[in-house]
Protein backbone atom coordinates (compact mmCIF):
# COMPACT_ATOMS: atom_id res chain seq x y z
CA UNK A 1 0.00 0.00 0.00
CA UNK A 2 1.30 3.44 -0.93
CA UNK A 3 1.10 5.84 2.01
CA UNK A 4 3.80 8.46 2.34
CA UNK A 5 3.59 11.18 4.98
CA UNK A 6 5.07 14.30 3.43
CA UNK A 7 4.80 16.31 6.61
CA UNK A 8 4.15 15.40 10.20
CA UNK A 9 0.48 16.02 11.01
CA UNK A 10 0.04 18.94 13.35
CA UNK A 11 -2.72 19.31 15.93
CA UNK A 12 -4.11 22.53 17.33
CA UNK A 13 -1.05 23.11 19.53
CA UNK A 14 1.15 26.18 19.17
CA UNK A 15 4.03 25.57 16.78
CA UNK A 16 6.49 27.45 18.95
CA UNK A 17 8.24 25.62 21.77
CA UNK A 18 8.30 27.08 25.30
CA UNK A 19 12.11 27.07 25.20
CA UNK A 20 12.15 29.07 21.97
CA UNK A 21 9.55 31.52 23.27
CA UNK A 22 11.49 32.05 26.51
CA UNK A 23 14.75 32.57 24.64
CA UNK A 24 13.19 35.12 22.29
CA UNK A 25 11.45 37.01 25.08
CA UNK A 26 14.58 37.24 27.22
CA UNK A 27 16.42 38.76 24.26
CA UNK A 28 13.59 41.16 23.31
CA UNK A 29 13.43 44.81 24.37
CA UNK A 30 10.14 46.01 22.85
CA UNK A 31 10.01 49.80 22.99
CA UNK A 32 12.81 49.84 25.56
CA UNK A 33 10.85 47.71 28.04
CA UNK A 34 12.97 45.26 30.04
CA UNK A 35 12.21 41.57 30.43
CA UNK A 36 10.42 40.90 33.71
CA UNK A 37 9.45 37.24 33.77
CA UNK A 38 7.71 34.44 31.97
CA UNK A 39 4.97 31.87 32.50
CA UNK A 40 4.78 28.72 30.38
CA UNK A 41 2.19 25.98 30.02
CA UNK A 42 0.99 23.77 27.17
CA UNK A 43 -1.87 26.12 26.21
CA UNK A 44 -0.38 29.57 26.72
CA UNK A 45 3.04 31.26 26.74
CA UNK A 46 3.24 34.60 28.52
CA UNK A 47 5.97 37.19 29.17
CA UNK A 48 5.98 40.44 31.15
CA UNK A 49 8.03 43.55 30.33
CA UNK A 50 8.55 46.63 32.53
CA UNK A 51 9.59 50.25 32.02
CA UNK A 52 9.36 52.04 35.35
CA UNK A 53 5.78 51.48 36.49
CA UNK A 54 4.56 50.67 32.96
CA UNK A 55 3.88 47.02 32.13
CA UNK A 56 3.19 45.13 28.91
CA UNK A 57 2.20 41.49 28.63
CA UNK A 58 2.86 39.38 25.53
CA UNK A 59 0.93 36.12 25.25
CA UNK A 60 0.97 33.32 22.69
CA UNK A 61 -2.17 31.15 22.51
CA UNK A 62 -3.77 28.79 20.01
CA UNK A 63 -4.82 30.22 16.64
CA UNK A 64 -8.53 29.95 17.48
CA UNK A 65 -8.11 32.66 20.14
CA UNK A 66 -7.65 35.36 17.48
CA UNK A 67 -11.43 35.63 17.27
CA UNK A 68 -11.63 36.46 21.00
CA UNK A 69 -11.12 40.13 20.20
CA UNK A 70 -14.77 40.25 19.12
CA UNK A 71 -15.85 39.65 22.73
CA UNK A 72 -13.15 41.55 24.61
CA UNK A 73 -13.29 44.69 22.47
CA UNK A 74 -17.05 45.28 22.91
CA UNK A 75 -16.65 47.82 25.72
CA UNK A 76 -13.47 49.42 24.38
CA UNK A 77 -13.45 53.17 23.79
CA UNK A 78 -11.26 52.90 20.70
CA UNK A 79 -11.31 50.15 18.07
CA UNK A 80 -9.32 49.71 14.88
CA UNK A 81 -11.34 47.16 12.94
CA UNK A 82 -9.35 44.34 11.34
CA UNK A 83 -6.18 45.44 9.55
CA UNK A 84 -2.87 43.97 8.35
CA UNK A 85 0.31 44.12 10.41
CA UNK A 86 3.46 42.37 9.15
CA UNK A 87 1.27 40.46 6.67
CA UNK A 88 -0.90 39.13 9.52
CA UNK A 89 -4.48 39.98 10.46
CA UNK A 90 -4.56 42.30 13.45
CA UNK A 91 -7.06 44.08 15.68
CA UNK A 92 -6.41 46.89 18.18
CA UNK A 93 -8.62 48.29 20.94
CA UNK A 94 -8.12 50.51 23.98
CA UNK A 95 -9.86 52.12 26.95
CA UNK A 96 -8.78 54.37 29.82
CA UNK A 97 -6.70 51.64 31.52
CA UNK A 98 -5.59 49.08 28.92
CA UNK A 99 -4.55 48.79 25.28
CA UNK A 100 -4.60 45.45 23.48
CA UNK A 101 -3.49 44.20 20.09
CA UNK A 102 -4.44 40.80 18.67
CA UNK A 103 -2.27 39.30 15.91
CA UNK A 104 -2.96 36.13 13.91
CA UNK A 105 0.25 34.10 13.52
CA UNK A 106 -0.69 31.43 11.00
CA UNK A 107 2.81 29.88 10.55
CA UNK A 108 2.93 29.24 14.30
CA UNK A 109 -0.73 28.09 14.48
CA UNK A 110 -1.02 30.79 17.13
CA UNK A 111 -2.53 34.06 18.25
CA UNK A 112 -0.34 36.73 19.83
CA UNK A 113 -1.79 39.36 22.15
CA UNK A 114 0.03 42.41 23.43
CA UNK A 115 -1.59 44.20 26.38
CA UNK A 116 -0.30 47.45 27.86
CA UNK A 117 -1.57 48.52 31.28
CA UNK A 118 -1.99 52.09 30.03
CA UNK A 119 -3.73 53.72 27.06
CA UNK A 120 -1.51 53.53 23.97
CA UNK A 121 -2.52 54.48 20.44
CA UNK A 122 -2.62 51.92 17.66
CA UNK A 123 0.65 53.04 16.09
CA UNK A 124 2.50 52.60 19.41
CA UNK A 125 1.14 49.08 19.83
CA UNK A 126 2.06 48.25 16.25
CA UNK A 127 5.65 49.37 16.84
CA UNK A 128 5.92 47.27 20.00
CA UNK A 129 4.80 44.17 18.07
CA UNK A 130 7.05 44.97 15.10
CA UNK A 131 10.06 45.20 17.42
CA UNK A 132 9.59 41.50 18.27
CA UNK A 133 10.81 40.67 14.74
CA UNK A 134 8.01 38.19 14.06
CA UNK A 135 9.30 37.53 10.56
CA UNK A 136 11.91 35.25 12.15
CA UNK A 137 9.31 33.21 14.03
CA UNK A 138 9.00 30.13 11.85
CA UNK A 139 6.93 26.97 12.09
CA UNK A 140 8.82 23.66 12.27
CA UNK A 141 10.41 22.57 9.02
CA UNK A 142 9.05 19.67 7.04
CA UNK A 143 5.78 20.92 5.54
CA UNK A 144 6.47 20.66 1.83
CA UNK A 145 4.12 20.62 -1.13
CA UNK A 146 4.87 18.02 -3.83
CA UNK A 147 6.39 19.78 -6.85
CA UNK A 148 3.74 18.40 -9.21
CA UNK A 149 1.06 20.45 -7.43
CA UNK A 150 1.82 23.88 -8.86
CA UNK A 151 1.96 26.99 -6.65
CA UNK A 152 -1.29 28.37 -8.11
CA UNK A 153 -3.03 25.10 -7.19
CA UNK A 154 -1.89 25.06 -3.56
CA UNK A 155 -4.09 26.00 -0.64
CA UNK A 156 -2.72 28.82 1.47
CA UNK A 157 -2.85 28.96 5.26
CA UNK A 158 -1.81 26.75 8.16
CA UNK A 159 -1.13 23.37 6.55
CA UNK A 160 -1.30 20.63 9.17
CA UNK A 161 -0.37 17.70 6.96
CA UNK A 162 0.03 16.46 3.40
CA UNK A 163 -0.19 12.72 2.87
CA UNK A 164 0.23 10.74 -0.35
CA UNK A 165 -2.02 7.68 -0.51
CA UNK A 166 -3.10 4.91 -2.88
CA UNK A 167 -5.86 5.91 -5.28
CA UNK A 168 -9.27 5.28 -3.74
CA UNK A 169 -11.10 5.96 -7.02
CA UNK A 170 -10.73 4.10 -10.31
CA UNK A 171 -9.00 6.08 -13.02
CA UNK A 172 -6.51 7.85 -10.78
CA UNK A 173 -2.86 6.99 -10.05
CA UNK A 174 -2.73 8.17 -6.41
CA UNK A 175 -3.96 11.05 -4.29
CA UNK A 176 -2.77 13.70 -1.85
CA UNK A 177 -4.76 14.35 1.30
CA UNK A 178 -4.25 17.86 2.70
CA UNK A 179 -5.43 19.00 6.14
CA UNK A 180 -5.61 22.76 6.79
CA UNK A 181 -6.63 24.92 9.75
CA UNK A 182 -9.65 27.08 8.90
CA UNK A 183 -9.18 30.83 8.65
CA UNK A 184 -9.87 33.64 6.16
CA UNK A 185 -6.60 33.03 4.32
CA UNK A 186 -7.70 29.47 3.58
CA UNK A 187 -11.12 30.61 2.32
CA UNK A 188 -9.63 33.29 0.07
CA UNK A 189 -7.07 30.92 -1.45
CA UNK A 190 -9.67 28.22 -2.15
CA UNK A 191 -11.90 30.85 -3.73
CA UNK A 192 -9.08 31.84 -6.09
CA UNK A 193 -8.51 28.19 -7.06
CA UNK A 194 -12.19 27.64 -7.81
CA UNK A 195 -12.36 30.83 -9.87
CA UNK A 196 -9.18 30.06 -11.81
CA UNK A 197 -10.35 26.57 -12.76
CA UNK A 198 -14.09 27.33 -12.93
CA UNK A 199 -14.87 24.57 -10.45
CA UNK A 200 -16.54 23.85 -7.13
CA UNK A 201 -15.65 22.16 -3.88
CA UNK A 202 -17.36 18.98 -5.07
CA UNK A 203 -15.02 18.78 -8.08
CA UNK A 204 -12.50 21.09 -9.74
CA UNK A 205 -10.59 19.87 -12.77
CA UNK A 206 -6.94 20.96 -12.81
CA UNK A 207 -4.22 20.10 -15.30
CA UNK A 208 -2.93 16.93 -13.62
CA UNK A 209 -5.36 16.72 -10.73
CA UNK A 210 -8.99 16.60 -9.72
CA UNK A 211 -9.45 18.71 -6.59
CA UNK A 212 -12.21 18.37 -3.96
CA UNK A 213 -12.95 19.35 -0.38
CA UNK A 214 -13.87 16.25 1.60
CA UNK A 215 -15.19 18.29 4.56
CA UNK A 216 -17.91 20.15 2.64
CA UNK A 217 -19.06 20.59 -0.96
CA UNK A 218 -20.44 24.09 -0.29
CA UNK A 219 -18.21 27.14 -0.60
CA UNK A 220 -20.75 29.16 1.41
CA UNK A 221 -20.40 26.64 4.25
CA UNK A 222 -16.60 26.79 3.95
CA UNK A 223 -16.83 30.55 4.49
CA UNK A 224 -19.07 30.46 7.57
CA UNK A 225 -19.46 26.91 8.86
CA UNK A 226 -16.09 26.34 10.54
CA UNK A 227 -14.47 27.74 13.66
CA UNK A 228 -11.08 29.48 13.63
CA UNK A 229 -8.39 26.78 13.63
CA UNK A 230 -10.79 23.88 12.92
CA UNK A 231 -9.39 21.33 10.48
CA UNK A 232 -10.64 21.22 6.88
CA UNK A 233 -9.72 18.35 4.56
CA UNK A 234 -8.98 18.43 0.83
CA UNK A 235 -7.95 15.79 -1.72
CA UNK A 236 -5.90 16.16 -4.91
CA UNK A 237 -6.55 13.10 -7.15
CA UNK A 238 -3.63 12.53 -9.55
CA UNK A 239 -4.84 11.70 -13.03
CA UNK A 240 -3.28 8.73 -14.82
pLDDT given for residue 140 in this prediction: 57
Where are the domains positioned within the chain?
A: 3-10+140-239, 18-136
Just give the CATH number of 18-136: 3.40.1000
* pLDDT of 136: 72
Residues in Cβ contact with 21 at an 8 Å cutoff, skipping those fewer than 6 apart? 38, 40, 45, 47, 60
Distance CA 35, CA 58 (A): 11
Predicted TM-score (pTM) of the model is 0.62
Q: Residue 107: what pLDDT?
A: 74
Report the chain (240 residues): mean pLDDT per 10 consecutive residues: 38 74 90 92 90 95 91 94 88 95 88 95 95 75 82 86 93 95 89 97 96 97 89 96
Amino acid sequence: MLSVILTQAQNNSILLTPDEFESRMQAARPGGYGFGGIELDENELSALFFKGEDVINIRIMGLSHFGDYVVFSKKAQKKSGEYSLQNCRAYYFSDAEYSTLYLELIPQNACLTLTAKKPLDQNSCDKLVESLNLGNWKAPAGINWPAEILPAQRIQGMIRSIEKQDASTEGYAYEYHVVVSWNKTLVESVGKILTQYNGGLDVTDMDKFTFICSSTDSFDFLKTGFREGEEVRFIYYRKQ
